[in-house]
Structure formats: structure tokens, C-alpha cells
């Protein structure tokens, strides 16, 4: 039987907070078939400190397909407790034509043990007017249960007067 390891919330005192952080980043040429970036941030976070780093790797085998793998890690130290969160993600874009696209984003959160997905099909029926079909899903990997699911249809239309 699987046991849930849901994180215990850490209380942040009410008040005004100012942040000072420093970030360094590096990117390769984004128009190349294979590209990437990396970043490192350190500084204040609420009433504590945060160190964050991450990066992504993108692959564009042709003009229709773009696949990106993302990773980020946050190490947070607060007076009421410390925590570390890792996010692993994948973005996928396929262009069927200049007016039809399929986007997909999948993410795993090591802190909540959840997998989230967002899949969107977009059709441009005339300039500045779109039809979106969207599917969202979130699942707990510890319990193997569905947390939430949504199917959304959105229609935008530009009216000329």
C-alpha cells in the first residue's frame, strides 16, 4: 500500500517583504537545431534565503517540431523550516500548418509528487481569431490518483466595425 508524502505547509509570517537576489545565466544560440540555457539565482526569499538553478535543452529537428526539456531546483531555507523542490518538464510543439498547432507541456514536481499536463490544439480560423481545445490533467504519483481534470473550449473572434 502506497503512503502519501504530502508536504507539510510552512507558515510565512504576515508582513511586507523586499527581495534582493542575484542571477547569472548562459544561453546558446536559440536558432540552432540544438540549443540550451542555464541559470543560477541566490538571494532573499520571504523571511529566508533561496538558491535556485536550472536549465533547458531544446531540439528543433525541422520547422514543424520543437521539443524542450526543462529542469529547475529550488533550495529554500526559512526560519520555520527548509525545503527543496525539483521541477522536471517537457514542452512539445508541432505545427501542422501555419494555422494549426498542437502544444503539450508535462511537468513533474518532486515536492508534491504530482504530474501535470496541459495539451492545447489551436486553429486560427481567420487573423486574430482562434479556436482552442485544451486538456489539463494533474495526477498524484504516490497514490496513483487523478487530482483534477479539465477540458476547455475557447473561441476568440475579431470583429471589424
Say if 12 falls within a structural domain: no
Say if 74 falls within a structural domain: yes
Q: Tally the residues of the chain.
A: 161
Return the C-alpha cell found at 132: 482552442
Residue 111 confidence (pLDDT): 87
Q: Which of 98, 158, 100 is nearest to 128 (CA)?
A: 158
Instruction: Name the domain count of the chain.
Output: 1
Residue 13 confidence (pLDDT): 84
Q: Domain of 84?
A: 21-155
Residue 7 confidence (pLDDT): 60
List per-block mean pLDDT (blocks of 10 residues) for the chain, which spans 161 residues: 58 86 95 96 94 97 96 94 94 96 97 95 93 97 93 93 81
Say if 16 falls within a structural domain: no
Say if 14 falls within a structural domain: no
Residue 19 confidence (pLDDT): 86
Q: What separation in angstroms does the CA of 144 have from each of 3, 69, 81, 90, 151?
A: 11, 24, 28, 20, 21
Backbone angles phi, psi at 67, to 5 degrees: -125, 130
Say if 8 falls within a structural domain: no
Alpha carbons 85 and 142: distance in angstroms, whole number: 16
Amino acid at each position: 500500500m502506497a503512503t502519501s508524502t504530502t508536504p507539510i505547509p510552512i507558515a510565512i509570517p504576515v508582513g511586507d517583504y523586499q527581495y534582493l537576489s542575484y542571477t547569472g545565466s548562459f544561453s546558446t544560440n536559440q536558432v540552432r537545431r540544438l540549443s540550451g540555457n542555464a541559470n543560477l539565482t541566490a538571494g532573499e526569499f520571504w523571511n529566508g534565503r533561496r538558491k535556485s538553478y536550472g536549465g533547458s535543452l531544446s531540439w528543433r529537428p525541422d520547422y514543424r517540431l520543437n521539443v524542450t526539456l526543462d529542469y529547475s531546483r529550488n533550495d529554500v531555507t526559512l526560519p520555520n523550516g527548509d525545503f527543496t523542490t525539483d521541477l522536471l518538464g517537457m514542452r512539445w510543439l508541432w505545427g501542422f500548418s501555419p494555422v494549426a498547432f498542437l502544444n503539450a507541456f508535462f511537468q513533474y514536481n518532486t515536492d508534491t509528487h504530482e504530474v501535470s499536463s496541459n495539451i492545447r490544439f489551436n486553429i486560427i480560423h481567420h487573423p486574430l481569431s482562434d479556436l482552442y481545445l485544451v486538456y489539463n490533467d494533474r495526477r498524484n504519483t504516490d497514490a496513483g490518483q487523478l487530482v483534477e481534470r479539465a477540458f476547455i473550449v475557447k473561441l476568440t473572434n475579431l470583429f471589424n466595425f
